């Protein structure tokens, strides 16, 4: 097999940025700047250059098109249907992130009119970007079920109802309050503070904070510690 | 941005096939059939053609080079260091699988001298294939910690020591027998049979079988059922 006989193709990356604003999950979209499908709503995408890795390309393109930088991006499975782009063969590598909208909003520039849409009201997207978004949401739900990633979106102090809102929004479901609270409190992830939030009810809700030690150990050990693996596999 | 100015590149897939033979974990390797690095030990790899998806390419190449077919392949993250191939820019998409060696061995043809190596004695591999193997092993350990994939490698009836050997081999560790047994039996994944294996000890070890119903539900629901997600996240 010779290299010279082989087919070369364009490689694109597409960035799927989800955000949480304290109440709702949103997705960041831009209007595509070039043909085909110019000015249609699109993920932030572009072609990988000769001298950059895919990860670097994703960071570069996200920054160029929105101003966002230093965002943690997860690579998903490659989209490689031969006819997915009408111009020529392009394989696309989607990257997904979930960010705190308030924290990152000041980075966003308006050159490309990047706009947040509720994930319940996503406009029609170009090519197979709609499928990418659906898979990215699945990816996030799966990840959030196994790692406490949602906690990174919370302010330093938060109430249990706030946390419940986050889980309900991502899974588009209602959770039983008592059950949710019981599991959370037995998880060792939270530390109760002495303060109360009295904005939503007279009785108020205690503020909690994340047990950083426990959280760190969980995150870093989950992949390597067999005793932890045992627990995940055989938990009921 | 015009398509015509952009860089096209070769896209390769590389197949990492791990196998379990009842006692040991092995990896299937071939001697590369073309330059550069001809006849060095290598993963089963090749270039994606114009009319095929990456998944199809992986299946085609695995079959061409080993005879193996209908093997479930998991896509991993893309390897895209610009200088990873000395001839020209090639991005590589690794695919990983774990199979029952006995079950698949009759498929393997000898045209390319595919050979099983113990994962403790892997020869030096071409390019960045050694890194791919290390990541693939991590991927497998992670997956096996969250899903009961190892059970698929067991015969219809198996003993608890057999199962323990499988986990110990994959994680290259010793597990506490009493603890392992207790967790397993409380998992609802196993069903005890009336038969005993007396080959290893006079007292013998009971044979168990997989609770197919429970297994199916676990596998298919883990990604979608919020109650299951809750459990994983907050298990202690």
CATH 3.90.79.10, chain B: domain bounds? 10-146
List, for residues B193-230, the tens digit of each pLDDT value.
999 998 878 888 999 998 877 766 654 433 332 333 33
In angstroms, the CA B94 to CA B78 distance is 7
Helix, strand, coil proportions of chain B in percent (round to 5)? Answer: 35, 25, 40
Q: Do A91 and B49 touch (CB under 8 A)?
A: no
Q: Assess if CATH 3.30.559.30 describes domain A156-218.
A: no
Taking the model in full, what pTM does it have?
0.86
Q: β-strands B8-20, B90-100: how paired? A: parallel
Q: Which of A91, A179, A231 sits opposite B11 (nearest CB)?
A: A91
Highest mean pLDDT among A30-34, A162-166, B6-10: B6-10
By the 8 A CB rule, do A3 and B10 touch? yes
Judge whether residue B118 has pLDDT over 90. yes
User: In chain A, which residues have their Cβ closer than 8 Å to the Cβ of B52?
Assistant: 82
Please state, rounded to an integer, the average pLDDT across all residues of chain B: 86
Q: Check CB contact under 8 Å for B232 and A229.
A: no
ipTM confidence score? 0.85
A73-77, A111-115, B33-37, B184-188: the lowest-pLDDT one: B184-188
A40-75 confidence digits (pLDDT tens) = 999 999 999 999 999 999 999 999 999 999 999 999
Looking at residues A15-19, what average pLDDT do you find? 97
Question: B3 to chain A: which residues are within 8 Å by CB?
Answer: 10, 87-88
Q: Does the pLDDT value for residue A229 go beyond 70? A: no
Highest mean pLDDT among A116-125, A214-223, B221-230: A116-125
Of A46, A81, A235, the CB nearest to B1: A46
> Which residues of chain B lie closer than 8 angstroms to A189, CB-CB?
234
Cα–Cα distance measured from residue A149 to residue A143, given in angstroms and rounded to the nearest whole number: 8
Task: Name the CATH superfamily for B10-146.
Answer: Nucleoside Triphosphate Pyrophosphohydrolase (3.90.79.10)
Q: What is the pLDDT of residue A112?
A: 78
- Measured between CB atoms, which of B9, B179, B230 is closest to A8? B9
A–B interface: beta-carbon pairs under 8 A? 162
**Tens digit of pLDDT for each residue in B175-188?**
888 888 887 787 77
Among the partner-chain residues A91, A171, A231, the one whose CB lies closest to the CB of B235 is A231
A225 has a chain B CB within 8 A of its CB: no
Which residues belong to CATH 1.10.10.10 in chain A? 156-218
User: Are A226 and B2 an interchain contact pair (Cβ–Cβ within 8 Å)?
Assistant: no
List, as ranges, residues 161-200 from A with C-beta within 8 Å of B.
Answer: 167, 171, 173, 175, 179-180, 183-184, 186-189
């Amino acid at each position: 097999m010779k290299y010279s006989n082989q087919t070369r193709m364009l490689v694109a990356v597409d960035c799927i940025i989800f955000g949480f604003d304290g109440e709702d999950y949103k997705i960041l979209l831009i209007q595509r700047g070039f043909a085909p499908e110019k000015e249609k709503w699109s993920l932030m995408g572009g072609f990988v250059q000769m001298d950059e890795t895919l990860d670097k390309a994703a960071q570069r393109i996200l920054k160029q098109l929105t101003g966002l930088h230093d965002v943690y991006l997860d690579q998903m499975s490659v989209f490689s249907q031969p006819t997915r782009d009408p111009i020529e063969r392009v394989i696309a590598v989607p990257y997904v992130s979930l960010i705190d909208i308030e924290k990152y909003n000041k980075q966003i520039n308006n050159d490309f009119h990047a706009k947040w849409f509720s994930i319940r009201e996503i406009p029609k997207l170009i090519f197979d970007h709609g499928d990418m978004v659906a898979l990215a949401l699945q990816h996030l739900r799966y990840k959030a079920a196994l790692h406490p990633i949602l906690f990174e979106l919370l302010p330093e102090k938060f109430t249990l109802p706030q946390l419940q809102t986050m889980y309900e929004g991502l899974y588009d479901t209602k959770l039983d309050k008592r059950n949710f609270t019981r599991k959370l409190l037995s998880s060792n992830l939270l530390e109760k503070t002495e303060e109360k939030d009295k904005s939503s009810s007279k009785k108020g809700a205690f503020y909690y904070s994340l047990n950083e030690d426990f959280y760190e150990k969980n995150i870093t050990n989950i992949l390597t510690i067999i005793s932890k693996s045992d627990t995940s596999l055989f938990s009921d």
